[in-house]
Amino acid sequence: MSSKVALVIVSHSDLLARGVREVAEQMAPDVHIECAGGMQDGSLGTSYDKVASAITRALGAIETGHAGAGVVCLTDMGSADLTVESVQEMEDFEALEHAHAPLVEGAIAAAISAQSGSSRSEVRAAAERAGAPDTPRSAASPVGRVVIHENEDTADHVVTATARVADPVGLHARPAALLARLAGSFDAEVFVNGADAGSALEVMALGVRQGDIVQLRATGPQAQEAIDALVDKLEE
C-alpha cells in the first residue's frame, strides 16, 4: 500500500478521464490514480456507481491510518461535481476531499503535490491553486554565485542564485514536474523567476527554454540545500 494521497479523476468522458490520468502519472509515478469517466454503458455522463467504486478502490490502495491520508477527487464540470458530492454524503467517505479546480491543471498540480508526500488538504489546495490567477514573474538575472542576506522583516536567511537551464526542452512538462518535486522535498519556500518552484504549472508558465538563465530564491531552514540542489538539477 502507498502512504501517499490517491486521486480520483471524474469526467463525463471515459477517454478524457483516462487521458488526464495518463498525463498526471507521468508527473507522479508513485501516486495511485483512479478514473471514473462516463456512464456504465460507455456513453457520456457521470455515474454514481462508477464514482463510488473508483473512490473505494483508491482508498483500498493507500494507507489511511495516519492524519492527512486519503483521496482527493477532481471533476470536469457541473453534474460531475454533484455526483461526487452525493457519493461523499451517501457513502460517508471520511478520508475524501473534493478539489474545485480545472481538471487537467488541477490533476497535474495535485499529483505532483501527492508525489512529494503532502497531506490530503495540501493536495487539494495545490489543485485549487492551479485555477488561481497568475502571479507576476520577475526577470532573471545574469548567472552568478549564491548570495545569502538577511531578511529584515523575518530574520530568515534569503538564499539566491542563478542557473542556466540545460534540458533540451527547457522547463516544460516533465522537467518542470521533476523540479517541482525536488523543490517540495525541502523545508523551504523556493521560487524560480518569481514563480513557486513547487508548482509545475507555474514553472511551465514561465516558458523557460534551453540556455535561458533563471533566478532562484529561497527562504527557510533548508534554503541553502534547496538552492544547491535546484542549481545542480537545472544545469545537469
Q: Kindly list the catalytic residues.
A: 12
CA atoms of 200 and 104, how far apart (whole Å):
12
For the chain, helix (H) and strand (E) counts, in that order, are 8, 9
C-alpha cell at 210: 534551453
On whether the CB atoms of residues 36 and 50 are closer than 8 A, the answer is yes
* Greatest Cα pair distance in the chain: 62
C-alpha cell at 108: 497535474
Q: In what order do the strands lie in the sheet with 147-150?
A: 147-150, 157-164, 213-219, 189-192, 195-196
How does DSSP assign 100-120, residue by residue? -S-HHHHHHHHHHHHHTT--H
Which residue shows C-alpha cell 527557510?
A: 220
C-alpha cell at 209: 527554454
